[in-house]
Amino acid sequence: MHNYTIAELIKGLQNKEFSSVELTQHFLDRISQLNDNYNAVITITGEQALTAAALADKRLASGDAPAMCGVPILHKDIFCTDGVRTSCGSKMLDNFVPPYNATVVENFARDGAVMLGKTNMDEFAMGSSNETSFYGPVKNPWATDSVPGGSSGGSAAAIAARLAPGATATDTGGSIRQPAALCGISGLKPTYGRVSRWGMIAFASSLDQAGPMARTAEDCAIMLNCMASFDEKDSTSVEQSVPDYTASLGNSVKGLKIGIPKEYFSEGLHPGTELAVREALAELEAQGAELVDISLPSSDLSVPAYYVIAPAEASANLSRFDGVKYGYRCENPKDLQDMYCRSRSEGFGEEVQRRILIGTYCLSAGYYDAYYGKAQQVRQLIQQDFSEAFKSVDLIMGPTCPSPAFKFGAKGDDPVAMYLEDIYTIATNLAGLPGMSVPCGMVEEKPVGLQIIGNYFDEARMLNVAHQFQQITDWHHQAPEAV
Amino acid sequence: MTIEREEIKKLATLSRLAIDEKTIADVTGRLSSVLALVDQLQNADTESLQEISRPFHTSQRLRNDEVKETDQRDAFQAIAPQTHNGLFSVPKMIE
């Protein structure tokens, strides 16, 4: 059953081939047998899952089953779950049990999905390798000496290892697409505002966006149908109707114009990754799509702009963790200042503290204009690049990341080397555009991701093209040997 | 742009982070390398451009001033590090 896609599981449940309780138990068994190899799941909600599955079976029997009724999934541990620890991968929230659900979690519950547990992640979603988690790194199921990517590395590894057919994830600078690429699965970061951020622990509020991860584009479409909604509790949620993302999956790609940015194929790109991506593009061309050379001239400014804007917003967002109302408080504080400072220094890991310091620096008097103001202007340059490109093409494609999964510790102590891992993904967050990664080849026995960037709210077209690509290739069906 | 030790200490105070002397040198080096990265922004020609703080133009949505949520003080206090008579308790702040 663990090799079925979500679409196949839905059919199997509806045709009574298996019950949701059987399916849920099967995945819970797999998690208990295999998770120690990967450290992808950090909280297992077995009892709660079986109760939800039994309820789903009743709804299925009554013929009144919502879209994802009885399908087991995992939630990234950044989404608040009522009565279930939500740690955000941090010691700071190791003891935090929220009294409410995030809207995304509510949406899945409404549609009958069964939560199996919560997935590991880089602390506060700050990382591209899952090495910053308080709960230890996640291992890539394709090569356990290598990283799964980050920050949604737990969700990606869990799907690759068939511990769940789908999982929620978030993306601030590439945190859905990069781990999806490195773990050989599909992942979609929707347009900013498409999915509610309410109850999702904030990292950089103008960049954060939640999205689905699954093995196939079709499954991502099914999950996005459930996740996307207007939410009055999120003031940046966009009041726009949600299409049925599965309805257009079958459309032909004939005549589609795909922009190929020259900046995404420059120095630093692994030759094997480039070859796999170019072969994928040739497959689409053979199906009738037209490849168009384009330029996104401000691409090289996206990483520097991001590493001003994201830490600046993070330094403000993370000021709420002060040891007063929830989360970690240090032992025996001698006064209030001591409590604030020690709770934060003991509760936050090294990378989180580094980003808070950078953000505070960029926002401090005398530096605001030179850094934060400048970065916000550059953000407009990047946005203009994309809007110019979308005048002549329907979608933009290129590699998701410069190389396949690297080994633990390979980026060493140099934060900048790690930051460059997101060189192809960050620009879409700055512009608020949707981006997706689908598996398109293998290099050194590790997966490669093809990135698909769409115009605002054009997720249906991206999913359509990704699905069509998956009809003519089988990279998305390949599994790590140990699975 | 490099960053000096004293600046790190000031930033730590502003950020309410307790960084010990031993780690200051390490943090100083790493922050300097990140600042060298973000300094690339200074070369960008942005003279005619406005700052944008949101991915695309949106106006702040307003809502009617209606009470919608019930009091959940007990639920929130149950997860607090320390409470006293329905209040959040912190160490003494005034001598």
Could you read off the pLDDT of A126-151 as tens digits, one per residue? Answer: 999 999 999 999 999 999 999 999 99
Single-letter amino acid code for the residue at B16: R
CA distance B17 to chain A (A): 4
Q: Which residues of A are catalytic?
A: 76, 151, 175
- CB contacts under 8 A, A 178-197 vs B, are 192-193
Q: What is the pLDDT of residues A297-338, one digit of tens each?
A: 999 999 999 999 999 999 999 999 999 999 999 999 999 999
Percent of chain A with pLDDT over 70: 100
Instruction: Compute the distance between CA of residue A6 and CA of residue A114 in angstroms, rounded to an integer.
Output: 12
Question: Furthest-apart CA pair in chain B: how many Å?
Answer: 58
Is residue A346 within 8 A of residue A312, CB to CB? The reply is no
Phi/psi region, residue A166 (left: phi>0; alpha: psi -120 to 50; beta: rest), is beta
Among A240, A345, A355, A429, the residue to mutate for chain B (most B Cβ within 10 A): A345
CATH number at residue A28: 3.90.1300.10
Domain boundaries, chain B: 5-42
Instruction: Tell me how many degrees the CA angle A242-A243-A248 measures, rounded to the nearest 5.
Output: 155
pLDDT of residue A336: 95
Q: How many domains does chain A have?
A: 1
Rounded to whole angstroms, the Cα distance separating A31 from A103 reads 26
A178, A149 Cβ separation under 8 angstroms: yes
Is pLDDT at B50 greater than 90 in this prediction?
A: no
Average pLDDT, chain A: 96
Interface touch B33/A414, C-beta < 8 Å: yes
Per-residue pLDDT band for A412 (boundaries 50, 70, 90) equals: confident
Is the pLDDT score of A413 beyond 80?
A: no
Domain enclosing residue A207, as ranges = 1-483
pLDDT (tens digit per residue) in A105-114: 999 999 999 9
* pLDDT higher than 80, residue A72: yes
Asked whether the beta carbons of A91 and A134 are under 8 A apart, the reply is: yes
Per-residue model confidence (pLDDT) at position B57? 66
Summarised one tens digit per residue, pLDDT across range A281-294 is: 999 999 999 999 99
Query: In this predicted model, what pLDDT tens digit does every residue of A195-228 receive, in sequence order?
Result: 999 999 999 999 999 999 999 999 999 999 999 9
Contact A98, A86 (CB under 8 A): yes
Q: Of A141-150, A301-310, A426-435, B58-67, which gets the smallest average pLDDT?
A: B58-67
Flag if A357 and B15 touch (Cβ within 8 Å).
yes
Q: Is the pLDDT of residue A392 over 70?
A: yes
Would you state the pLDDT for residue B1? 61
**pTM, full prediction:** 0.97
pLDDT (0 to 100) of residue B58: 67
More confident residue, B57 or A181: A181
Q: How many CB pairs under 8 A join A and B?
A: 175
Asked if residue A270 lies in contact with residue A424, where contact means CB atoms within 8 angstroms, the answer is no
Angstrom distance (rounded) from CA A244 to CA A55: 26
Query: Which of A10-14, A262-266, A367-371, B48-52 is predicted least confidently?
Result: B48-52
Burial A306-338 (b: 16+ CB within 10 A, else e): bbbbbbbbbbbbbeebbbbbbbbbbeebeebee
Say how many C-beta atoms besides its own lie within 10 A of residue A197's C-beta. Answer: 23
Q: Do B37 and A308 touch (CB under 8 A)?
A: no
For residue B55, give the DSSP letter: S
- For residue A167, the surrounding DSSP H or E stretch is strand A166-171
Rounded CA separation A185/A105 (Å): 22
Residue-wise over A87-119: b if at least 16 C-beta within 10 A, else e?
Answer: bbbbbbbeebbbebbbbbbbbbbebbbbbbbbb
Residue appearing with tokens 């480039």: A274
CA Rg, chain A, in Å? Answer: 21
How do residues A340-350 score in pLDDT, each as one tens digit? 999 999 999 99
**Interchain CB distance below 8 Å, B37 and A416:** yes
